[in-house]
Amino acid sequence: MKLDLAKYKEELSSELENILSYWKNFTVDEVNGGFVGKIDNDNNIDYTAPKGSVLNARILWSFSSAYNLNGNSDDLAIADRAFNYIINHFIDDEFGGVYWLLNAKGNPIDIKKQIYAIAFTIYAFSEYFIASKNEFAKERAIELYKNLVANSYDIERGGYFEAFSRAWKPLDDLRLSNKDANEKKTMNTHLHVLEAFTTLYKIWPNEHLRRKIMELLQNFTSHIINKETGNLVLFFDENWVPKSDIISYGHNIEAAWLLLEAAEAVHDEASIETIKLISMKMASVSKQGLDADGSLWYEDEPSNNHIVKEKHWWVQAEAMVGFFNAWQISKNDEFLEISLKNWSFVKDRIISYDEGEWFWGITEAGEIMPNEDKVGVWKCPYHNSRACMELIKRIDLYL
């Protein structure tokens, strides 16, 4: 087993460097500043593409986290560039929060306040502070946190509303993307608010923040996780009434480890033990989405009796970590074998060896998904670099 883990770590370390090198070599925008908004599957750069707040926050987080792991000054330089660009272009100094989308020149073109994007910026600024010791980054992370809670927190029913206008007024369209349901509360935003608050707590162990993390864990155990099946419910109205029966295998297995990370961060023993049981249930139910080749399918639509058997890059990255986490909790070698088999699938089908980075995914027919990005509003270095870094740190505990 030790030999398998050592080999796993060696391969992940090499792939992490490959991912970071791609983003350093291809995405720095010397034409307009910051980072390019789009690169297609064939590595064609679109210098006219819009720049997304989520993409830029994820670049900042990835390179900050990489520096915190390996201490490579080149990674910190990229993080510095990302932080300065976000501060100068994405932050709304008048109303607070961040703009959703800029044009290629760095001017706002979609000024809505998507809580998901603000959460990722808090997450990135917090990790960047650990890397840079830049007090301004910590101050802005705390400011964004206070702004998010003041404007988005549901005082009556708990949780966080999804989106607002620039001035924090109600919107008709709350969706993150066209595929999402237009509902006031979502699993996805709550998961990443929790992730952001957990990282902020590492640099700012504030009691109010701790309570908000505990409340979010309660939101998941009371509302977001289906108690019977162990699957996540994806969409809700303001009263936590479920509005979807879709099963997202990738989010299931991602939440299985992020929830435990949050409980451990606030050192609440009762929550840790509760979440460990929940994590195991979520990992076990996620096995229903595994294909024979070790990959994890995208999602299940029970009401349509249809499984979407596409294999997206981010789902595989989260499967690698989530099933490893289940092995750590249970010591059941089946879960470690699933993580290793999933990594084999990633090596065989997802990594783009000729041009770098990971393909968006593989179709049900086994082909590379066409017309998708290597870099885009949603295609980023966060899931795959994070999987590599998270697993490297976890494997080190056993070597």
Among the listed residues 80, 212, 205, the one whose alpha carbon sits nearest the alpha carbon of residue 133: 80
Taking the C-alpha atoms of residue 153 and residue 161, their distance in angstroms, rounded to an integer, is 7
Contact between 359 and 384 under an 8 Å Cβ cutoff? The reply is no
Q: Show the CA angle centred on residue 387, arms to residues 385 and 390, nearest 5°.
A: 105
Mind listing the pLDDT tens digit of every residue in the chain (399 residues)?
A: 777 999 999 999 999 999 999 999 999 999 999 999 999 999 999 999 999 999 999 999 999 999 999 999 999 999 999 999 999 999 999 999 999 999 999 999 999 999 999 999 999 999 999 999 999 999 999 999 999 999 999 999 999 999 999 999 999 999 989 889 999 999 999 999 999 999 999 999 999 999 999 999 999 999 999 999 999 999 999 999 999 999 999 999 999 999 999 999 999 999 999 999 999 999 999 999 999 999 999 999 999 999 999 999 999 999 999 999 999 999 999 999 999 999 999 999 999 999 899 999 999 999 999 999 999 999 999 999 999 999 999 999 999
Range of the domain at 143: 2-396
Q: Is the dihedral of CA 234, 282, 277, 265 positive or negative?
A: negative
pLDDT at 27: 98
pLDDT at 3: 73
Burial class (CB in 10 A: 0-12, 13-18, 19+), 272: middle
Taking the C-alpha atoms of residue 68 and residue 367, their distance in angstroms, rounded to an integer, is 36
Q: What is the residue whose two structure tokens read 């699933």?
A: 338
Please enumerate in sequence order all residues whose Cβ is within 8 A of that of 270, keeping only pairs 6 or more positions apart, or say none.
Answer: none
E strands, 63-189, in order? 101-102, 108-110, 113-114, 163-164, 185-186
Please enumerate in sequence order all residues whose Cβ is within 8 A of that of 17, keeping only pairs 6 or more positions apart, or say none.
Answer: none
Taking the C-alpha atoms of residue 243 and residue 110, their distance in angstroms, rounded to an integer, is 27
Number of domains in the chain: 1
Each residue's pLDDT tens digit, 310-356: 999 999 999 999 999 999 999 999 999 999 999 999 999 999 999 89
Contact between 79 and 69 under an 8 Å Cβ cutoff? The reply is no
Contact between 32 and 106 under an 8 Å Cβ cutoff? The reply is yes
Each residue's pLDDT tens digit, 186-214: 999 999 999 999 999 999 999 999 999 99
What is the CATH number for 70? 1.50.10.10
Taking the C-alpha atoms of residue 394 and residue 389, their distance in angstroms, rounded to an integer, is 9
pLDDT at 68: 98
